[in-house]
Chain A
Amino acid sequence: MVLSHFEALTLFSFFVSVVFAVLSKQTLREQLIYGVKVFIAFVGIAVVLGWIMLPFA
């Protein structure tokens, strides 16, 4: 399976956010909200860091 860096990052974030949400929260609604937040945080921070590292590339 050949994935780009961003695709691998997104897939990784999805799996980790699912596990974090299930382990951290109790109800389904809380788990979904928390999982989405964690997923967005993972991807968003990675994008921001990528732009920050761009001048040093």
Chain B
Amino acid sequence: MKQNRPGGVFHPSSFILHTSYFILHTSYFFDAASARVVRLQVGRLRASQAVYRKPAKPVETQPMARKTTTQEEKSPKEAASPAQPRPSSGSLFGLCLAAWLVPGLGHFMLGRKGRAVVLFLAIVGMFLCGLAMQGQFFATGSPSYLHTLGYFAELSIGVPMPAATFFGYGGGNVYFVCSDYGTAFLISAGMLNVLTVLDAYDIALGRKS
């Protein structure tokens, strides 16, 4: 350390600093050395005691069996997802597309029929309640970013949205007393379908049982 102060290392502050470093390191050295000395003495003591100790009865030793994980000892993640080949990107894409188009269809394709039915009823039921309350269908041509986001949120429900338009739903009535609640129901149904798609994706990859 370059000493620019008058007196260099003999300046009081530098002296104190260097002295403290010296004490700290030497104490550490002595601690380490003393610990080593103690270990040596303990080792010698144990060795001396072993001379007078009755030899232990030889125990039939079995070769150390390598611990193999049984089915019960597997971690939940491993048990939930046994080794399976990763599905191809095309099949994953098709699964996600199907799960998006029809709520619950992804789970149905993966064999989770009960879940598929419940998800379909809940999400489509929520969507229908939104329609019944005259919820608003957003459009992409709106100058508001929130409306554009709302459009994509409602589109996330899949086929039900264009189907409602096809069967004569006029996009809602903003002057209806429950229209805001209906809009919230429509958007939330779309968002729940996004969760469903992600869940189907995770199940297909083996991340979830």
Contacts and interface: CB of A to CB of B under 8 A. Distances in A.
User: Is B one of A's binding partners?
Assistant: yes
Nearest to A24: B199
B185 interface: yes
Contacts of A2: 133, 177-178
Interface centre among A1, A5, A12, A18 (most CB of B within 10 A): A1
Contacts, number: 49
B181 A3 contact: yes
A47 interface: no
A19 interface: yes
B188 A1 contact: no
A33 interface: no
Q: How large is the interface on B (under 10, 10 to 19, 20 to 34, 35 or more residues)?
A: 20 to 34
A22 B129 contact: no
Contact of A23 (B126, B181, B196): B196
A3 B129 CA distance: 10
A11 interface: yes
Interface in A1-35: 1-3, 5, 8, 11-12, 15-16, 18-19, 22-23, 26
Interface residues of A, number: 14
B119 A12 contact: no
Looking at chain B's contact residues, is the secondary structure mostly helix, strand, loop, or mixed? helix
A31 B115 CA distance: 11
A8 B119 contact: no
A33 to B, nearest CB: 16
Contacts of A5: 181
B178 A22 contact: no
B185 A3 contact: no
A3 B178 CA distance: 7
A19 B123 CA distance: 8
23 contacts: A1-B178, A2-B177, A2-B178, A3-B133, A3-B181, A5-B181, A8-B178, A8-B185, A12-B126, A15-B122, A15-B123, A15-B188, A15-B189, A15-B192, A16-B192, A18-B122, A19-B192, A19-B195, A22-B118, A22-B122, A23-B195, A23-B196, A26-B209
Closest 10 CB pairs of A and B: A1-B132, A8-B181, A15-B126, A18-B122, A19-B192, A23-B199, A19-B122, A15-B122, A22-B118, A1-B133
Given A15-B188, A23-B195, 12 more contacts: A1-B132, A1-B178, A2-B133, A2-B177, A8-B178, A15-B125, A16-B188, A19-B196, A22-B118, A23-B119, A23-B199, A26-B209
